[in-house]
Amino acid sequence: MSTRWQIAALLGDGRYGCIYVHCDGYPSYALKTLQNHYTDQSKIDQLIELGDCLSIGPLVGNCDTFASHDGEELEDVKASYGDSLKAVAEEHLHGDEEYRYFWDGKMWRIADL
């Protein structure tokens, strides 16, 4: 069974972005990966820009995106963007996520679903 999750972030342009990730959302992997590999704002912006992912890796290029799989339309798996964390996270909620990780511009933390 997959541990589904969201990544929501304050972006470099002041907007918020949110994506869904299908696997490995438990804090010992997801939070650790975000804290160890995604603390540079441009890298976080690139991660959100990928859209929904099956899983993420330590490099943006190692992320397994839904858009890279045959039959997936980018429109269906693109990130949500908006002016508040709550708005983009709720808009992008699939309903089966167990965790949401949030970048506030300085650090990663677990946010309530």
1-41 pLDDT, tens digit each = 689 999 999 999 999 999 999 999 999 999 999 999 999 99
The model's pLDDT over 69-113, given as tens digits with 9 standing for 90+, comes to 766 666 678 999 999 988 998 899 888 899 999 999 999 999 866
Q: Return d(Cα 68, Cα 105) in angstroms, integer.
A: 28
- 9, exposed or middle or buried, with CB in 10 Å at 0-12, 13-18, 19+? buried
Nearest CA to 98 out of 76, 88, 113 is that of 113
Q: What is the pTM of this model?
A: 0.92
Q: Cβ of 51: how many Cβ atoms within 10 Å?
A: 22
CB 1 within 8 A of CB 22: no
